[in-house]
Structure 1
């Protein structure tokens, strides 16, 4: 599995046509206010209806519906053989999922919080990520590990980690990080369909954010893409167009980047925002095109800056866009300290002011 994806213009056209057809077929319903939590829940419902091999399990995901109620109603709808609770043993949860995936099922498991997944990391790094390669392709590993991650909820220690770098560094894993309601649905359906293991990072502070979304149209769009054999996997998106600087973000940092771009517009500066969407595979094409257009870039992430996904993005952009850059690339990240107490997290998390300060530091003078 390559860490980089290249999307051809032909593929773009086919996906766009399928999307347009799906949207037209469900135009009668129209978009409605939908939360990210609802979109993820609906993606699991639709996947379980479409494929009986899809099962959901984890700590308190059954009758309780999960800590954040993301699996609410799944046990009632599908029974406790397809959505069930497990003991408080993350390594055991992942180990059981590995066995199920090896035997033709598609487990979707939930880690209650980001740092709760660490006891399972040995299973993820040693078995989930390596099984396909170890067996020379004979054994596939179609499983999704859903992880509520990052901060912004006033959570205490072990409840607000941004652990994406561990997974992105582990070859053999895909890593998705949706930032919008629609992508919560789209990317989870693609993750469940994938024959490769996917770490699905859900920004917990965005669970109750709302967008106008037509879930039926998204369902039809997914069906059309499956039928055509072409998906949007690994593709970044231009969340806001601009000409002066590119802000590159993913997950919970995308709304912050958009807020910074809106504030900059009031001062006469045009900032483009790229939503990475998929950390692995990574869409160099979209990112490079934006930076080559603007000549400047700022990478934004809640995780620590040292040895991070943000660092990797900076390296890739510098390698691919060096002769287009008018200034060094800046990073706006969490500080290199353990996650702070709830009353201090607003100092730690990247905010609009820190982003705008980084933009101002991009050598604008001739």
Structure 2
């Protein structure tokens, strides 16, 4: 390999002969000698590959995909690489979906982002023509979008994150030189307005309204074990359960990209055990636990809504997620943080942002604790004030005794 030479103390020049015998020369500042050496090594590899008729080494191919337009144009002019493909937006995202080994939920997410991006930019819009200013306008357009439905700021943040990810891939493939979505907010926040607490009692009402033991177990696992429906029960098999040890293995496609996140072991909670045993009595001893349609949570939506209606409860937003959220909220009061982190498969930051709720019981406990510590009663309390039915377990760790005529 011809190494770059330092000229006059401030230039690093690399020269070699191309496949046609023509002299190829690149000049960099002397401080970029390391960069010049990398360029020289890859160009030598390209020349050897061209001369011998073989494919360049993988790291050289990846380097060619990552270089800027000017350097790439020079390599094209020297006959070392081919012209870059000019790809339209719709063609690129479709190709990305087709060539990647994606989960069904991820494909659905990609398709949603593809639909929104092509609606705004146009299907035939070239990737190279999308600017940072247009990306900012796209975000504003989504925030103001009303049809077919209004998008929350978190949904817009998620969509901007997906668009940024698409263009990172486009850069790696050499379709574009820069990412127009870089530097634009893609923060996903929890939405308190779509949170709903399904109380312990309402959870039991839902189970009692189920048509069979299979549905009872499914809802028990969602509300009282906090499983993600349907991804964490779809591939559940009977061998995952160790009933004597009161443990169950959970496989999680949602967190499998994290170290050790592909599986976790959780307790078989008291509220789950009877429904597990009842369904097990009528099922094979091996194979899948559930035979419900579980391509995604939407496939279970209609029958679950029928169950909710039978209880007389109002249908709440995020049907399955709020069952998990309610379970995690209860767990925060019963277990230690390291146990919750291990059993529910998310970090404390994510849990506090997207799952934990403030309940009516929290307000009652806080108000009563303050009143008792002050040795006074609030003005709104008198002999006609009805007793408040707060369980004694709610006072654990507060230093307050559940006594007095306002508590039962």
TM-score by length of 1: 0.22
For CA contacts below 8 A with separation 6 or more, give which structure has more relative contact order: 1
Q: Tell me which protein shows more strand as a share of its residues.
A: 1
TM-score by length of 2: 0.21
Larger radius of gyration: 2
